[in-house]
Amino acid sequence: MLVTLRELWQATQVCAVVFGDADSPAVVTTDPELSWDDLSAARRQELATLREKPLLTSVAEQAGGAGIALEHPDGTMVLFVELAENRPFTEQDQTLLALLAGHLGQGLNRIHQIDQQRETALALQRAILGPAELPAGFAVRYAPATRPLKVGGDWYDTVTLPDGRIGIVVGDCVGHGLQAATVMGQLRSACRALLLQTADPAQTLTALDRFAVRLPGATCATVFCGVLDPATGDLAYSSAGHPPAVVTHADGTAVLLDQGRSRPLGVRSRTDRPAAHYAVPARATLLLYTDGLVERRRQPLTAGIDRVTTAVQQGRDDTLEELADDVMDGMAPAGGYDDDVALLLYRHPGPLELDFPAEPTRLAPVRSALRGWLARCGIDPSVAQNILVAAGEACANAIEHGHRHRPAGTVRLQAAATADDVHLTITDRGLWRTPQPADNPHRGRGLNLMRALMTEVTVTTGTAGTIVGLQARIPR
């Protein structure tokens, strides 16, 4: 736009200055290197004066230039044309500048309204898709087939139940696009409410049937509904015509959860919906997905399920976030997904996260919590003992050194397990004191002990604090 104005008047420069709430006005010019502070004091005064003039009234009294003020979504914009030497600014020029400024102001307001509408639409889409925060141990990915929509007919959900169990749902409505998204949002909300009421997958799907037959477009939707106990790994589940979930054990063995299957939603039947149970073993990965991830033209569905199973097997020692990315990227067709895709991963048990005061009396409860978590991970007792000792040393150092100048501080311990490794981080807000073995030969051995017990030890210091990373290999 500015370049066009410069060419129209054969100007030496054109600039647009927006006077808003910021400390300095925003400047856009045909010279990209120019900022507000680079303008001369006289030019800044001219622009400020133009700001006070009536809107859409061109002014050409300034020597060598003409300007006009117009409405901008962020305040008032001043458009200034710096004319070539001896170039007059005629009455026709003033009329043309006012006309162009009016169109520009209308265009800016329309763009602002479109941006606001887009942000509102995206916020609503995100709200109907699923929870913004997931329970510990979960990762999700979502890819709608229809752009620029952020949602389609597929969905995922996690519902924390009053007794501490977690409802997990992945569903797929017929079709995609905006119409399927509106049906999906209603089914997701209904399923969430039913799970909170019954906490039984088969009963939830039975009740969802009655809702689906009254909702246009919901018939033949498929749903996998489960209730997971994160403490024990027990999973109760029921499937309404949905592809089977995949459980990959730490040793690479894979199991398809193909029990508890029945018809899609809204399809009449006299038989009750069945339920099934499965005990997710330690360090195993559970994968729920929609058929857009595995279904390909001229290929059986089983071929896609085999491919995604292999992908999870190969990535069982990755973090869940890394695994989710790898599965989505590795399963994507050459031209991208042509159907909606929802993917949900869970690794049992979920990671341990503890925040505790930097006080020595807190070490015993932390050690107890870590011991219980390692047992749920199925870690060999000798390896678990090494981890407990190393983590205890790291926590003690964080309390003693990291918070010696901040006694009211906190320490964070995070632990996560993959198929072959246990990863821990201990974070404090301070800086460790440099060891002085000559001053006290009986101190400063904590790091050496950690390195002797762990496969890998890292210590990262910075102005925000110190992070100790511990990694232990799990023998097979």
Q: Tell me the mean pLDDT per 10 residues along the chain, length 476.
A: 82 90 88 85 89 90 80 92 81 90 92 82 71 91 80 91 96 87 92 95 96 94 97 97 97 96 91 95 97 92 96 95 96 89 96 93 95 96 96 91 68 96 91 56 74 95 87 92
Instruction: Give 242's DSSP letter.
Output: P
Q: Could you read off the pLDDT of 108-137 as tens digits, one per residue?
A: 999 998 888 777 767 776 777 778 789 999
**What is the assigned CATH class of domain 2-124?**
alpha beta
- Hunting for tokens 């699923």 — which residue is that? 130
Q: Could you read off the pLDDT of 282-320 as tens digits, one per residue?
A: 999 999 999 999 999 889 999 999 999 999 999 999 999
CA distances from residue 78 to 335, 387, 438 in whole angstroms, order as listed: 46, 66, 70
Look at residue 453 in the predicted model and tell me its pLDDT.
Answer: 96
**Burial class (CB within 10 angstroms; exposed 0-12, middle 13-18, buried 19+) of 172:** buried
Token pair for residue 305? 């399920």
Query: Per CATH, which fold does 130-347 belong to?
Result: Phosphatase 2c; domain 1 (3.60.40)
The full set of domain ranges for the chain reads 2-124, 130-347, 352-473
Token pair for residue 472? 């232990």
Dihedral over Cα of 332, 280, 388, 398: its sign: positive
Look at residue 169 in the predicted model and tell me its pLDDT.
Answer: 97
C-alpha dihedral, 196 to 200 to 206 to 209, nearest 10°: 40
Token pair for residue 454? 């762990």
Token pair for residue 323? 């695994």
Look at residue 367 in the predicted model and tell me its pLDDT.
Answer: 97
Q: Could you read off the pLDDT of 78-104 as tens digits, one per residue?
A: 999 988 777 788 888 889 999 999 999
Look at residue 30 in the predicted model and tell me its pLDDT.
Answer: 87
- Hunting for tokens 């390692």 — which residue is that? 374
Look at residue 293 in the predicted model and tell me its pLDDT.
Answer: 96
Token pair for residue 85? 């030497």
pTM for the structure as a whole: 0.77
Strands 245-248 and 410-417: unpaired
Query: Per CATH, which fold does 352-473 belong to?
Result: Heat Shock Protein 90 (3.30.565)
Residue 243, CB-side half-sphere exposure with 13 Å CA sphere:
25
Contacts of 460 (CB under 8 A, 6+ apart): 466, 467, 468, 469
Q: What is the residue type of 276? A: A
- Angle at which helix 320-331 crosses helix 301-314, to 10 degrees, equals 140
Query: Can you say how many angstroms the Cα of residue 106 is from the centroid of all Cα atoms in its chain?
Result: 36
Contact between 347 and 230 under an 8 Å Cβ cutoff? The reply is: no
